[in-house]
Amino acid sequence: MIRVDLYYNKDVLYRFKLSGHAGYADHGEDIVCSAVSILVINTINALEALTEEEFSLDEINSKKGVIDCTFNKRKQGMPNQEATLLLEAMQIGLESVKQMYGEYIEIKNKSF
């Protein structure tokens, strides 16, 4: 199962961490893993290309299925409006995957 942890501060998403594999199908054929991966990777690429937001990829491990992204603490860890929009779009996409394949993905919202 893919676990998605979304971390919020004052209702603003400032960190996301994914871990695990869906187990929907064999490696290379798993459409759930592919959908989640492309949503997250596209968001990271868009953040780099379209915003001046500073963030760190604290961990990337494809074997474990881990991606951990946190916004720069220098700016109190809070993304700007453009980045927030991209993160909200990612969250909507992840929720859509969960609606269709809920037994393979778990999304937890954590507030601080």
- Is the pLDDT at 79 greater than 90? The verdict is no
Class of domain 2-111: alpha beta
102 pLDDT tier (thresholds 50, 70, 90): very high
The amino acid at residue 82 is: E
- Write down the mean pLDDT value for the chain: 92
- Is the pLDDT at 86 greater than 60? The verdict is yes
Per DSSP bridges, beta strands 105-111 and 66-71 are: unpaired
**For the chain, which residues make up each domain, given as ranges?**
2-111
Average pLDDT score over residue span 57-78: 82
Task: Give the pLDDT of residue 93.
Answer: 98
Task: Give the pLDDT of residue 76.
Answer: 60
The amino acid at residue 53 is: E
